[in-house]
Amino acid sequence: MLKFTEEHEWLKIEDGVATVGITTYAVDQLGDLVFVELPEVGATFSKNGNAATVESVKAASDVYCPLDGEITEVNPAIVADPSLVNSDPQGAGWFFKLKLANAADADGLLDEAAYKELTA
C-alpha cells in the first residue's frame, strides 16, 4: 500500500512499518542530489518533524516524518551515493523505515490518485 504526503514523501506500509522516501515529483523539482543526511536508528519523530535533509545543486530541503513513529532502519546507500535517489526515488532510493506509533494514522494520507491530482 503506497501513501503520499503533501510534502512529497511516499510511504510503503507493511506490518505497521513504513518505508519512507521522497517522490519522483520531489526529485524532479530538486534536481541532482549531492548530499543526504539521515536520522539515527532509534530516533522518534512526530508527524511533520524534520527527519532528514537533502541537498541538490539547486537547494537544500528537509524531508519530514510523515507520521509519528520510531526509526528502525536507514538506507546508508543513499548517503554514499545520493544519485540513487535521483535514479530510483521510489525504490532503491528509500530514506528510512519507520515503526508507526499508530498504523491507522496512515488512512489520513493521500492515495496515489489524490497525490497525482496534487502535483498535476
The answer as to whether 85 is a domain residue is yes
The answer as to whether 99 is a domain residue is yes
- The predicted pLDDT at position 107 comes to 95
The answer as to whether 51 is a domain residue is yes
User: Domains in the chain: how many in total?
Assistant: 1
The answer as to whether 120 is a domain residue is no
Mean per-residue pLDDT pooled into runs of 10, the chain (120 residues): 94 97 96 97 97 94 97 98 97 98 96 96
- Residue with the three cell numbers 511533520: 48
The answer as to whether 114 is a domain residue is no
- The range of the structural domain enclosing residue 88 comes to 2-108
For the chain, give me the number of helices (H) and strands (E)? 4, 9
29 to each of 49, 55, 66, 90, how far by Cα in Å?
A: 21, 12, 19, 15
| Interatomic CA distance for residues 62 and 65, integer angstroms | 10
Q: For 89-110, how does the pLDDT look when each residue is reduced to its tens digit (9 = 90+)?
A: 999 999 999 999 999 999 999 9
CB 53 within 8 A of CB 30: no
The answer as to whether 115 is a domain residue is no
Cell numbers given for 8: 512529497
The answer as to whether 113 is a domain residue is no
* CATH code of the domain containing 94: 2.40.50.100
The answer as to whether 62 is a domain residue is yes
- The predicted pLDDT at position 1 comes to 74
| Interatomic CA distance for residues 63 and 95, integer angstroms | 9
